[in-house]
Each structure stands twice: as C-alpha cells, then as structure tokens.
Amino acid sequence: MTPTAQKLTTVSHALAGKTMTGAEIIVQVLADQGVDVIFGYSGGAILPTYDAVFRYNAKHQDQAGKEPMPLIVPANEQGAGFMAAGYARASGRVGVVMVTSGPGATNTVTPVRDSMADSTPIVVICGQVPTPAIGTDAFQEAPVSSCLGPVAKHTFLVTDPERLEATVRTAFEIARTGRPGPVVIDLPKDVQNWSGTFRGEGLLPVPGYRQRLHAARENVLSEAKCARFFGMLEAAKRPLIYAGGGVINGDATVELRRLADHFGIPVTTTLMGIGAVDTTQPLSLHMLGMHGLASANYAVEDCDLLIAVGARFDDRVAGLPERFAPKARNIVQFDIDPSEIGKVKAVDWSHVGMLKQDLQAILEYGIRHRIAPDFTAWHGEIADLKSTYRLNYDRESELIQPYAVIEAINAITGGDAIISTGVGQHQMWAAQYFDYKYPRLWLTSGSMGTMGFGLPAAIGAQFAAPNHLVIDVDGDASIRMNLGELETATTYDLPVKVLVLNNFGDGMVKQWQKLYYKGRLSASDKSLRKKDFVKAAEADGFEYAARLDDRKNLDRVVSEWLAFPGPAFLEVIIDPDAGVYPMVGPGLAYDQMITGDFIPNRAQVTEEDIDGSSMF
C-alpha cells in the first residue's frame, strides 16, 4: 500500500450505521473520548441521557461488576463542577459534568468560570426543556447560553439532532486543545429522545478555531529566532525562568526541566505553575508573587533576563508592572495565546506556539551549537537567597502553628501527595510549605479564588488517581461552602484525607482587617459559630474523625490520620493570629514586600508602610 493510500484508508467505527437515540449517541461519544467517570446530578430534562448511561454501564461492566463510566452524584451541582475540575487537573484529561436544566445548569456557573480562569478542560452537558418550549419560561428553563456563554470557552445549544454527535465530539476537541477550558452543551430533551444514525466520526466546522490551532502548531522556532534567544541568554549573568500554569496545561514540564537543568537557569513558578519544577531541587525557587517566597521575589528583583513560560504577568504576580523585574535588560515570553504576549508587560522577544515543542526546539538548538553559559556566581546568589530568606515562623509558640502542621504532613508525603485546597490563608500555607516533586499534584482555585473548591476537587482527583494519596487542605470558612461533599467522599468510599485548619473565621480577611481596619472584624469572625466539624464528619460516615488542639500530639495524630485506609477527617485548632507571610500588597512592587517577624526583609518594610485599602 502506498503512503497516499494509507492516508486515505480509515477504520470505520464498529457501531457506525446503527440507529440510536440522541442520548445513546451522547454516551457512545463519551465512551469513545475515553471518559471513565461522570460527575452530576439528575433531573427531568437530563433523564434520557442518565438512563442511557445506566444502560451502557449495565451492558459493559466487567465480571467484578465494575462500571466503565460510573455516575458520581454530589450534594450540589457546583460540587460536580469542581469534582470534574479536580479530575481534569490531576489527570490532564477532560472532566465531564452532566446536570439537568434550570437550577442544575446555573449551579455550574461558578465552576465553569473557575475552569475558564484557570484553563481547566471540562465539558458540561446540561439538560434543557424541549426545543419548542425554549423561551416560554417553561418549568426549570434557564437561558444557558446567556448565563454560561460569557464565562465558558464555548457554548453549544443543540437544536438540530443531526448535528448532535459532531457537537459532542467537537466540544471535547475545543476543551482540550489550545488553551484548555470549559465547554458547555445545552441539550433539549427532545434532542435526547430523537432517534437517528450513529456515524462514528465527524466534527463540526469551526474553521477559525482550527486555523488558530494550526498556526500555533506550525509556528516553529526558526534558527534566527533561536539565535536571538541565546544571544540574550549568553549576555545575561542572572537569568530567571518564570513559569506559569501553561507549562502544566501544555504537558511541557519535562521539556522545561531539561532546559533549566541543561543551562543552569533557576526557576520560580506562579501559584498555578507549582509542580512545573521539583521544588526540592537547588535551582527551584518555588512560588513568586503576592504570597510567594521572599527568596523568589528577591530573585525577580535581581535578575537581568526574565524568561516567562506559560505565564501571564497577572496582578497577583506583577502588581506594579513597571517595577516588576526592574533590572531585567530583556524579557522573553513563550505562550500559546497571542493575546497574552505583552498584555501586561512589554517584552523583547516572544513566541506563540506549543510550549512542549518550542522548549524542546530551544534546548536542541543550544545543544547543537554547544552553548554553555556559566551561571555559577548566580547559583551562589540563589543559594544565599534561599538560605537567608527561607520560610519561618514562631517555632516556640504553645499554640499549634499551621505551618508546623503542613511541615509534619510534608515530612511523611515527601512531595508526592496530591494537594487540593480551598481559598484563604490555608491555601497560601499549602502552596508555600508543601513540596511538589511532580506536576498535577497541586489543585487550587487560582484566578477566581473560589472558596469551597478544595473538597470536591479532591474527590475528583481521587477518581483520577485512585492509588494516589489525595489531601484536601481546607479552612473552617472555606469548607463550609461545600461541606455536603463530605458525604460524597464516604458514599464512594474514597480514601481522601480532609484537613481543616480552624482559626475560627475568614482568616485572610481577618488578617487584613487586623492590619488595616483597626481590628474591626466585619463579618469575618466565626468564633461564635456552633459548627462541630468532627461530629459533622462522623454524621457523614467518616470512621476516622479527630480534633487536634495540643501541639505535643501533632506528629502522632498526623501520622494516624494519613495512615487510615479510608476517608479520614482531621480538624486542627490553630493559632487564630497566624498570618500569611511574605506579603506584597496589591498594586505594589516586590521591594515593598513585608515578611512578618520571622523572615528577614532586606528592604526593612513594615506593615505600617503598606496601604491595605485595595486588598482584593
């Protein structure tokens, strides 16, 4: 067979030509896409597809009764969305949500926006009232395209059943390719009940989108452009790689690590880029930014060449863009999204393309041309920064310090646990004090900062990585947002470890109120609330549920909690005045960073010097 003939030969789908209902077509496309779990809540408008999933699972379960595509039912559709996001972030595959119309669909608005903000690939399938009833204010009708369209990567309303199969397949293509994101399919009930021929192939024509993807794939680095890059690198004495979540989303961590290691370039990451490099390595500076490590922020201050890879110079990193990396003679930016190039900070060299292939091309050019810059002196400076400005806290306090709790866990997990978090102080402590040796171990709501993310995302991650230790690090305020998902963890007997660092309130808000609002804890103090988290966990089926309030028992209790074979819940009563340091106030430069009482500060900035009026 000639090469041309091989290209023209296609293998027909085994079920091509079979008559199926719309619901059955949806489920078959999900199976073809490799979907192995669906998160969602049923209801009238989605019942035909739920029934099709049930029948598919009954037909294809293995001899042990294991279903190929189980339906995981949360307490709330928001939980389903975050479970799908946790699954996607931990696995790199597309997470799937299936909900009913009206409130079922609108309850997914927050996780859809969260996924869009953090470039997380999920597909949300929403039931909808029958096509003739759309626009009549029918029971449980909501304008899904109007509600979710502005916050999703793309939204489809399927009114032509002949286009259903191609629509579902195209939704997955859009969700996973380019800059990943959430795609919503609004699915009228009559389309689900329609019967037609399953083709087993085909996509919708989305020429503009595919042209942009093709342009990114084909935009390979030229020899001249590589030479310009290395001209800047060889002229530098203090180069620094600033890596963002795009490295992980683009599956480019291996290439980034090889590039950094080969040329000896230190790396700092954004909150979403944690895991792009092994945080235990000498040239890793861990996280930069508003609550980044002081050593990382000072390295940004000192560098003379900044190499941004899959990072967008957002306001939590570059709060004052004109004073970000002030000594950098050149700034380089790699990204897949052309809108990010120079959006916040002007750059001297940029490339829009696929990070994985571009970083490999840069490395190969450098090896081929025997480029070997010597950054030994810079490595010494990096080591000094990490030693002098390392994280620290009051280690003599009789109160349990949250940092000590995380250090105790990290000593056992060794940088190889999947850590999911809510949003607040505990989120930043988990980012700072845990080690992360590999990508996809860190799951958090970055851009949206959505409280309640941690527990459902951990559940989704446990389905993605059933044999991996998954820990939800949460706060007493954040976990309240989706506390009902405790029961979901026990219902499916998931060995998720849930940690609540209880400081009796909205800790991050309280920290700012104490600093800048004379201690007026407006609506942030929860010390009078009656919640007994341990009893709540026990009521939801946790066989291990404990409260730790004595620092002398810290190591023992943490070990017991992590070793428990099933779902385990631990509440730790921490110092209510523990703060998150370092801290760079919004709209401020790194030389205005405050570091608290236990981390040195080379600029001698105090809390009184910072204006807290623009907290968020």
The confidence score (pLDDT) of residue 7 equals 44
Alpha carbon separation from 172 to 126, 417, 428 (Å, rounded): 15, 28, 32
Domain spans in the chain, listed from the N-terminal domain onward: 3-212, 219-388, 402-573
Q: Which CATH number fits domain 219-388: 3.40.50.1220, 3.40.50.300, 3.90.1150.10, 3.20.20.220?
A: 3.40.50.1220
The answer to whether 219-388 and 402-573 have equal CATH topology is: yes
Residue 612: which of 580, 591, 583 has the closest Cα? Answer: 583
Which residues on adjacent β-strands are paired with residue 544?
568
> Rounded to whole angstroms, how far apart are CA atoms 529 and 523?
12
The confidence score (pLDDT) of residue 526 equals 86
From 66, 139, 223, 535, active-site residue: 139
From 24, 39, 77, 345, active-site residue: 77
> Rounded to whole angstroms, how far apart are CA atoms 399 and 152?
44
Buried/exposed 439-460: b ≥16 CB within 10 Å, e otherwise: bbbbbbbbbbbbbbbbbbbbbb
pTM for the predicted model, two decimal places = 0.95
Q: Are strands 497-502 and 154-157 parallel, antiparallel or unpaired?
A: unpaired
Which residues on adjacent β-strands are paired with residue 569?
498, 545
Would residue 230 show up in a list of annotated catalytic residues for this protein?
no
Would residue 354 show up in a list of annotated catalytic residues for this protein?
no
The DSSP result for 346-406, as a single string, is --SEEEES-HHHHHHHHHHHHHHTT-----HHHHHHHHHHHHHT-----TT-SSPPHHHHH
Residues of the chain with pLDDT under 70: 1-10, 605-616
- Residue 256 in tokens: 């980034």
| Distance, C-alpha 178 to centroid of its chain | 16
Would residue 531 show up in a list of annotated catalytic residues for this protein?
no
Per DSSP, the three-state class of 469 is coil
> Rounded to whole angstroms, how far apart are CA atoms 543 and 541?
6
Contact 476, 526 (CB under 8 A): yes
> Rounded to whole angstroms, how far apart are CA atoms 487 and 112?
23
pLDDT tens profile 381-410: 999 999 999 999 999 999 999 999 999 999
Q: What is the CATH number of domain 402-573?
A: 3.40.50.970
Within 239-333, where are the H helices? 245-249, 253-263, 294-302
From 33, 153, 172, 189, active-site residue: 189
| Distance, C-alpha 56 to centroid of its chain | 31
- Residue 236 in tokens: 């530098």
The confidence score (pLDDT) of residue 518 equals 83
The confidence score (pLDDT) of residue 607 equals 61
**Helical (H) or strand (E) element with 165:** helix 164-176
Would residue 189 show up in a list of annotated catalytic residues for this protein?
yes
C-alpha angle 115-36-33 in degrees, rounded to nearest 5: 75
Residue 109: which of 122, 90, 91 has the closest Cα? Answer: 122
From 18, 67, 140, 437, active-site residue: 140
Residue 414 phi, psi dihedral angles, 5° rounding: 65, 30
> Rounded to whole angstroms, how far apart are CA atoms 599 and 395?
12
CATH superfamily of 3-212: Thiamin diphosphate (ThDP)-binding fold, Pyr/PP domains (3.40.50.970)
Contact 442, 435 (CB under 8 A): no
Would residue 78 show up in a list of annotated catalytic residues for this protein?
no
| Distance, C-alpha 549 to centroid of its chain | 31
C-alpha angle 56-58-62 in degrees, rounded to nearest 5: 105
Per DSSP, the three-state class of 291 is coil
> Which residues, at least 6 apart from 511, have a Cβ–Cβ distance to it below 8 Å?
425, 579, 580
The confidence score (pLDDT) of residue 11 equals 78
From 508, 533, 583, 592, active-site residue: 508
DSSP state of 448: S
Alpha carbon separation from 600 to 90, 387, 504, 604, 612 (Å, rounded): 35, 11, 29, 8, 21
